[in-house]
Amino acid sequence: MFRHSIHVVAVLISYFTVGAMAQQPPDPASFERYVGEVTANDVYLRSGPSANYYEVAKLSAGDRVTVVGRQETWLAIVPPNGCFSLVHKNFVDLDATGLNGVVNGDAVLVRAGSSLRSELYAKQVKLDRGAEVTVIGPHNQDYLRIAPPPGAELFLSSDYVARAPDQTAAPNANVASLPVAAMTGQPSTDQPSNQATDAATPAVAADAGTKPSPQPSAERSALTQLEDAMTAEMEKPLVQRDHAELLERYRSLAGKTADAYVKAYATTRIKQLELGAEAAVEVRTINDTADRLSAARRDKIAERANIRAPIREIGGGFDAEGELRNSALFSSPVGPKWYRLVSGIDDVTWRTLCYIEIPPDLTLDMNRYLGRKVGVRARERRLLTGEVDPVEVLVASELVILDAGVPAGENESTRNEPVRP
């Protein structure tokens, strides 16, 4: 699957010298989208509409971007090729290739990724359960890099962007010239079969011009008719195009013409159509594989929904172990009390494993447990989401002291004793 994806991307880059960007329904907002041109070098592209937001990339003079909104002196643009977004790995179910994923939570946050900085606090959009994402690769131990989903925006200072002359932006299209290599070989968020609707103008000899000569000739008239047919065929999705018929007609014209221009033009079209036919075969293979993987994923999700956790016997293992500490983040004078369970990475660094909620009916002297290593048995486990990264919360049914230390005033006989309500 991965090999096919890389191959199709390479074929499509060769197939279209001017690739038609995937389009989305028009934005209902009143702002008129347009193509902007960067007017200086080393201009930072930022994750939000302020210089306080972290940088995600640099643009150079002459780079073009699609402007889709404005916030005071900052322009919102569609993320250029090479930019990426971030989503927490706990909220994405990956297929067998690891290149495609399905969101498994509600209102899952997508954040602006940066190749220049480590920050990831800038929020772009929220994805609903079932939304599909294209995975570029891992970002760190918790986050995945994904192709920016619809609605994701980045920001440029309006001081360094001018409206490009005689340019009209297609909805959600972007033409910024970031390096193609920055995409790490991944396809865009739209399937190849839905892209590339413009006919490319083939490269021909410099002395041949860019369009057929106006002098009348049967062969140039035939070439013009073929170009009209080519344009009409390119309006269809890739997998629906009749490459074979066009190939036969261009080969026939190239084989019998004595016109150097017509021969060069037709020969270039033949190469493009051969690449297009190869790409169509690869895309069909990918689509068939994706359909099979999607069906298998649905089956696995259905199987997983029927799995029930085994009931643990009394005195069995713990749901979590670590050192119990107070939680300033979730401390509240009302409602259940929350504590933080941590594990030491080294002598000075501690990692939060989860949060422990002590329900009102569990009457414990918590001073006995704070600062001690404890084992936790839970009556309930849930994942806190929303405006924060996923946080696991265990509602305790029992705490057990595990370490060998004994706080002052505690008898040795009470150490390691399970405490129950």
pLDDT in tens, 211-231: 444 445 888 888 888 888 888
103 within a domain of the structure (yes/no): yes
Of how many residues is the chain composed?
A: 421
Residue 111 has pLDDT above 60, yes or no: yes
pLDDT at 211: 43
Using alpha carbons only, what angle is made at residue 167 by residues 166 and 168, rounded to the nearest 5 degrees? 130
Reported as type and span, the H/E element at residue 145 is strand 143-146
Mean pLDDT of 245-261: 89
The reply to whether 14 falls in a domain is no
Both structure tokens of 161: 């962007």
* Residues 88, 44 within the same domain: yes
Question: Are residues 159 and 228 both part of a single domain?
Answer: no
Do 176 and 229 reside in the same domain of the chain?
no
125 and 265 belong to one structural domain = no
Residue 346: which CATH number?
A: 2.40.50
Using pLDDT thresholds of 50, 70 and 90, give the confidence band for residue 191.
Answer: very low
Give me the mean pLDDT over the 248-270 stretch. 88
- Report how far apart the first and last C-alpha atoms of the chain are (Å, whole number): 55
pLDDT band of 330, cuts 50, 70, 90: low
- Looking at residue 257, its pLDDT comes to 87
Asked if 182 and 63 sit in the same domain, the reply is: yes
Residues 128 and 39 in one domain: yes
Q: What is the mean pLDDT of residues 334-338?
A: 79
Identify the pLDDT of residue 411. 40
Q: What pLDDT, on a 0 to 100 scale, did the predictor assign at position 32?
A: 87
In degrees and rounded to multiples of 5, residue 268 shows phi and psi of -65, -40
* The domain boundary residue, chosen from 305, 330, 352: 305
Task: Give the residue-averaged pLDDT of 339-352.
Answer: 83
Q: Please name which of 27, 152, 145 lies closest in space to residue 80, comparing C-alpha atoms.
A: 152
> In the predicted model, is pLDDT for residue 202 greater than 70?
no
Residue 21, in any domain of the structure: no
Residue 79 lies in a domain: yes
Mean pLDDT of 348-354: 84
Paired residues of 266 in beta bridges: none
The per-residue pLDDT for range 30-46, each reduced to its tens digit, is: 688 999 999 999 999 99
Could you tell me if 40 and 131 lie in one domain?
Answer: yes
Residues 274 and 377 both lie in one domain? no
Contact between 108 and 88 under an 8 Å Cβ cutoff? The reply is yes
pLDDT tens track for 159-176: 999 988 866 544 444 444
Residue 36 burial by Cβ neighbours in a 10 Å radius (0-12, 13-18, 19+): buried
The pLDDT of residue 131 is 92
* Same domain as 153, residue 68: yes
Residue pointed to by tokens 């989860």: 354
Contact between 323 and 375 (Cβ < 8 Å): no
**Domain count within the chain:** 3
| Higher pLDDT pick, 319 / 403 | 319
* Mean pLDDT, rounded, for 134-143: 90
User: In the predicted model, is pLDDT for residue 420 greater than 70?
Assistant: no
Least confident of 166-175, 185-194, 260-269, 344-353: 185-194
| Shared domain check, 212 and 301 | yes
pLDDT at 21: 35
* 161 and 40 in a common domain: yes
Highest mean pLDDT pick, 272-281, 306-315, 325-334, 399-408 = 272-281
Task: Give the tokens for residue 382.
Answer: 């849930």
Comparison of pLDDT for 414 and 304, the residue scoring more = 304
**In whole numbers, what is the pLDDT of the chain averaged over residues?**
77
Question: Crossing angle for the helix pair 2-15 and 260-305, nearest 10 degrees?
Answer: 150
Cβ-contact 26, 5 below 8 angstroms: no
pLDDT over 60 (residue 198): no
**Is the per-residue pLDDT at 197 higher than 60?**
no
State residue 226 phi and psi, 5-degree precision: -65, -40
Do 214 and 71 share a structural domain? no
**Is residue 194 included in any domain, yes or no?**
no
CB 115 within 8 A of CB 56: yes
Whether 330 is covered by a domain: the verdict is yes
- What is the pLDDT, as a whole number, of residue 300? 87
Among the candidates 282, 305, 328, a domain finishes at 305
User: Is residue 19 in some structural domain?
Assistant: no
Q: Kindly state the average pLDDT of the residues 111-140.
A: 92
Tell me the C-alpha to C-alpha distance, in Å, between residue 142 and each of 20, 152, 219, 341: 35, 20, 62, 18
Domain containing 348 equals 320-419
pLDDT band at 59 (very low <50, low <70, confident <90, very high): very high
Calculate mean pLDDT across residues 299-326: 78
Phi and psi at residue 297, to the nearest 5° = -65, -40
In a domain, 45, yes or no: yes
Contact 309, 48 (CB under 8 A): no
